[in-house]
Amino acid sequence: MIKCIPAIAIVASLALTPATAIAQANVSPKVLFEGNLAAPQKDAAPAGQASVKSWEFFNKNGAVQELPLAGFYVAHLVSGKVAATIDGQTTNYQPGSYWTVKAGAKMQVKVLGEMAVLETITASKQ
């Protein structure tokens, strides 16, 4: 009976994990567009690059999931409902919403239904 106590303690600690813990799942996007930004002059090198990516988030028992992006980007909620936390401030978004995430900030997403689809738009100088 004494040998069972550590196993019970481990199972109990797993059951007590808060639902709001950040999910460690791999979140990977589907690339919708990547390309060069137009140069100011006709024969000049491209001014930078732009990228549009689609991210699918599934509700994982209310877990918060972090978007693995750095730098400034525009977020667009295509479908579903989410609560997005940026710099400690949480805002609920409906389908069709757009918002920005400043450079250096991390965005965490909690899906409020079964799933949500989010697009991100980034642009960078070359």
Does residue 2 form part of some domain?
no
Does residue 6 form part of some domain?
no
Could you give the 3-state DSSP secondary structure of residue 25? Answer: coil
Does residue 88 form part of some domain?
yes
Could you give the 3-state DSSP secondary structure of residue 83? Answer: strand
Does residue 4 form part of some domain?
no
Does residue 13 form part of some domain?
no
The CATH number covering residue 62 comes to 2.60.120.10
Does residue 1 form part of some domain?
no
pLDDT digits (tens, 9 = 90+) for 40-67: 677 777 778 899 999 999 998 999 999 9
Does residue 11 form part of some domain?
no
The answer to whether 124 and 74 are in contact (CB under 8 A) is: no
Domain count, the chain: 1
Q: Which residue's entry shows tokens 């909620």?
A: 77
How many beta carbons lie within 10 A of that of residue 61, not counting itself? 9
Average pLDDT, integer, range 15-20: 36
Residue 99 in this model has a pLDDT that exceeds 80? yes
Does residue 9 form part of some domain?
no
Q: Which residues constitute the domain of residue 114?
A: 19-125
Question: What is the pTM assigned to this prediction?
Answer: 0.70
Six token digits for residue 57:
């988030």
Cα–Cα nearest to 23, from 57, 73, 70, 48: 57
